[in-house]
């Protein structure tokens, strides 16, 4: 296993940090979007049920 891990080309620290920041930012945006869609559908369903 150690031999195989030595063969892996690991990303540089700067690239790793940049991609991590991008992923975190995209997850926050996606979470906000899903939250808004959930609120909209909840209100629509409550209007239909009433």
Q: What is the pLDDT of residues 1-50, one digit of tens each?
A: 899 999 999 999 999 999 999 999 999 999 999 999 999 999 999 999 98
DSSP per residue over the chain, as a string? -HHHHHHS-PPPHHHHHHHHHHHHHHHHHHHHHHHHHHHHHHHHHHHHH-
Tally of domains within the chain: 1
DSSP state of 50: -
The domain of 22 spans 2-49
pTM: 0.72
């Amino acid at each position: 296993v150690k031999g195989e891990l030595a063969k892996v080309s690991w990303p540089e620290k700067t690239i790793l940090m940049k991609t991590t920041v991008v992923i975190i930012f995209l997850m926050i945006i996606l979470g906000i979007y899903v939250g808004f869609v959930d609120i909209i559908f909840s209100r629509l369903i409550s209007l239909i049920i009433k």
